[in-house]
Structure 1
Amino acid sequence: MSTNRSRTSGFTLVELLVVIAIIGVLVGLLLPAVQAAREAARRMSCSNNFKQIGLGLHNYHSAYKQLPLHGAGTMSPTIDYAWRSSDICNVERLSFLVGITPFIEQQSLWEQISNPRDNNGGTPAIWPAMGPTPQQISYSPWATDIPTLRCPSDPGRGLPALGRTNYAACMGDSAERTTTGAWRDNGTVGSLPNEVLAEESRAAHRGVFVMHKQMKFRDILDGLSNTICAGEIATDLGDKDKRTINLNIGWNFLRNRAPTYCRDMPQDYVDPLRPQFWRATAPVVGATDGRGYRWADGFSNFSAMFTMLPPNQELCTQQNAGNPGVYPPSSRHQGGVHILMSDGAVKFITDSIEAGTAASGGTASYPIFRWRRPGDASPYGLWGALGTRANKEVIQEEL
């Protein structure tokens, strides 16, 4: 008589540990690839958003024979300066993004903005058509996040920002008078009459967009495919990233300085352990004044960029975020930023783009607040040439 003995098969403890180790190694190898694939998808989505904005700009120009006004809106005769706050008008401070809302599938939002709006028992009882100044949080259109204006790679959400934007108007290679632009207010600035300010604006503002001035494609004499119309910006996360929060160096200290002034100051406000960030003790602007925090606000900090310093360099302003300053484009993508050319093409520009000796603070440095002589070549190399609309610079490189 024979006895059948049953034997239970399975993994030994050693075999199980080996299998777990192999799985761990495979996950470790695959995870960077998965993350890279996700970022590539986000970057493509960001580019598509920018293309949508470009189409909106061209459709707007086709409908109205001009680009949307940067610095548009309503005015009260009691307002004497462009930076005043108001609940009865928006002090002609609206960004170009407000004008294109009907052209980027935001018709319902445009109708809320363009008509008087109930304030739900607040003061004033009725918001005016085109809204108050853009910092007013109680006016819900200004606090609305528009998906087309957001880059998926940017994690910034919620307060202290209102509605954020990752896309900003290109205003050229000079920060002179960019708060007032071509606007003739009821007073003077620094004892200078409005006629002098307007003359300085005409000479200094060489980008596709000029604050308070009607611009058309015919003004872009260098060619639509050779001129930057808008650039990408990263929004602030409250971490003192020097690309997204301004170093505040006080009133008038940026005049006659090179664009690298905030980087080269003897106080050395850059954190040596985290070179992309300001020190914890560095004087920065207020928490509500982060980069891109108000999509509807035409001030440079919120919806504009310049071609002085290359992409992803530090922000620097005098006194507060409502003043002119150094505002390069920035992004959460690796190595560069998206830019929108005036012909609607979206390009990726690397941080290492040639920007001349002026941008690096060399002996040929050019003051960021000095207005240019009309027609002068940009002192900021290829980068500056791409940002100016009518200087007859020849672009010989493929972007």
Structure 2
Amino acid sequence: MRVRRGFTLIELLVVIAIIAVLVAILLPAVQQAREAARQSQCRNNMKQVGLALFNYEEQNGAFPIGATGGQRGANWFVRILPFIDQKAGYDRVDFSAGSFYGHVSLQPILATLKVPIFVCPSSPNGYSSPNATITSYAGGSMLMDYVGIAGAYPDPAATPRTATVCTAGQVQGGYYCENGGLIGFRAKSLRDFKDGSSNAMLVGEQSGQVNGTENSSNALGGWYGIVANTMVRSDGGTTWDGATPVSAITSSSGYTGGLTTVRHPINSYWLQGAPSSANSPYEANYILNSYHTGGIEALFADGSVHFLSESLHMPTLLKISSIDDGAIPGEF
């Protein structure tokens, strides 16, 4: 009679140990493959944003402006909706109704509209910030993982133009400049990119908003433009619009929705203490960040998307954030 022999306890433990070792070896590779796929989709989303911007520029002769209506108007994300198969939603937007910030109660279509290409799959935040204590987030306004480049501070030209292309004073603690390609109340075209379209960053990533507390241009929701509150102008004016020289702004407690003026290194996050979701000392200079390892994806004015390392030399980052400084950026 043949006796069946089972596994001994030692043999079973050996098998379990082998399986555990294989899992430990393969799991990081699987996770890396998944992140690579997410990052690839993030890059593709940014390319789609670029196509929408270029189609808008071709049809209108210039890129969309980043703000309208003096303050709290629509930003450039709203303007490109018809070029990303969202014309039905765009047609329901009431540009005469006023405010596009916060819970967008005056813009009910935008309170519920979720656009996949405005989100980077690598970010765990999805369409909305987990920090729902902020009224604008709690109201449902989607969170944008990309941000338009308004310029660089200080101006990187050989003879700096900071005094003429940037605000004279701080905007909620930061400095807003208009030496970039997507700015507030004035539209720029590809003709304005004197440094060459391949040397100018048009849109950067801001998907690394840590647990919803890392400040970004979504501070009051994803659809608003410049919010010019408590503004002081050197010429005595009281508005901030296309007729206002940016250098006339001596102070403001406003926000620059959808736009950032590059001032800090990539993925550097906050340089002082714990970040807050609003009223931070870095308004207007939202840091380019992501959940990718080592850097961010960035759209350039020639339609290409590049991965920019977080160790990128700061002078180079400033040069590619300006479109007409005359400086050679070097490798990036």
TM over 0.5: yes
1:296 maps to: 223
1:229 maps to: 202
CA contact (8 A) 1:170 1:207 kept: yes
Residues 1:64 and 2:43 aligned together: no
Residues 1:47 and 2:6 aligned together: no
Q: Distance in 2 between matches of 1:56 and 1:12?
A: 65
1:181-196 paired onto structure 2 within 5 Å: none
Residues 27-61 of structure 1: per-residue CA shift (max 9 Å, x gap): 01110111011111111000000000011111111
Residues 133-167 of structure 1: per-residue CA shift (max 9 Å, x gap): 32134443333321100000111143522201111
Q: Residue type of the partner of 1:217?
A: L
1:28-107 paired onto structure 2 within 5 Å: 28-72=24-68, 74=69, 82=71, 91=72, 93-107=73-87
From the superposition, tell whether residues 40 and 292 of structure 1 become closer, same or farther in structure 2 (CA, over 3 Å): farther
**1:132 shift after superposition:** 3.1
From the superposition, tell whether residues 26 and 238 of structure 1 become closer, same or farther in structure 2 (CA, over 3 Å): closer
| Aligned residue among 109, 114, 117 for 1:145 | 114
CA contact (8 A) 2:125 2:211 kept: no
Residues 1:389 and 2:323 aligned together: yes
SS of aligned partner of 1:40: helix
From the superposition, tell whether residues 322 and 239 of structure 1 become closer, same or farther in structure 2 (CA, over 3 Å): closer
**1:96 shift after superposition:** 0.9
SS of aligned partner of 2:93: helix
CA contact (8 A) 1:301 1:322 kept: no
| Aligned residue among 21, 24, 47 for 2:20 | 24
SS of aligned partner of 2:262: coil
From the superposition, tell whether residues 210 and 322 of structure 1 become closer, same or farther in structure 2 (CA, over 3 Å): farther
Q: Residue type of the partner of 2:101?
A: P
Residues 81-103 of structure 1: per-residue CA shift (max 9 Å, x gap): x3xxxxxxxx4x32111111111
Q: Number of aligned pairs?
A: 273
Q: Residue type of the partner of 1:328?
A: I
CA contact (8 A) 1:142 1:296 kept: yes
From the superposition, tell whether residues 154 and 295 of structure 1 become closer, same or farther in structure 2 (CA, over 3 Å): same
SS of aligned partner of 1:327: coil
Q: Distance in 2 between matches of 1:313 and 1:94?
A: 29
SS of aligned partner of 2:51: helix
1:135 maps to: 102
| Aligned residue among 181, 188, 191 for 1:208 | 181
2:160 maps to: none
CA contact (8 A) 1:45 1:151 kept: yes
1:12 maps to: 8
**1:10 shift after superposition:** 2.5
CA contact (8 A) 1:230 1:341 kept: yes
2:269 maps to: 314
From the superposition, tell whether residues 105 and 322 of structure 1 become closer, same or farther in structure 2 (CA, over 3 Å): farther
| Aligned residue among 213, 220, 223 for 2:193 | 220
2:285 maps to: 326
Q: Residue type of the partner of 2:261?
A: F
Percent identity of the aligned residues? Answer: 30
Q: Residue type of the partner of 2:323?
A: R
Q: Residue type of the partner of 2:221?
A: R
- CA RMSD between the two structures: 3.1
**1:18 shift after superposition:** 1.0
SS of aligned partner of 1:306: strand
Q: For CA contacts below 8 A with separation 6 or more, give which structure has more relative contact order.
A: 2
In structure 1, runs of 5+ residues without a counterpart are 76-81, 83-90, 115-127, 183-188, 191-199, 246-288, 356-380
Q: Which structure has the greater CA radius of gyration?
A: 1
| Aligned residue among 117, 141, 151 for 1:172 | 151
- TM norm structure 2: 0.73
CA contact (8 A) 1:175 1:324 kept: no
Q: Distance in 1 between matches of 2:311 and 2:208?
A: 21
Q: Distance in 2 between matches of 1:23 and 1:168?
A: 45
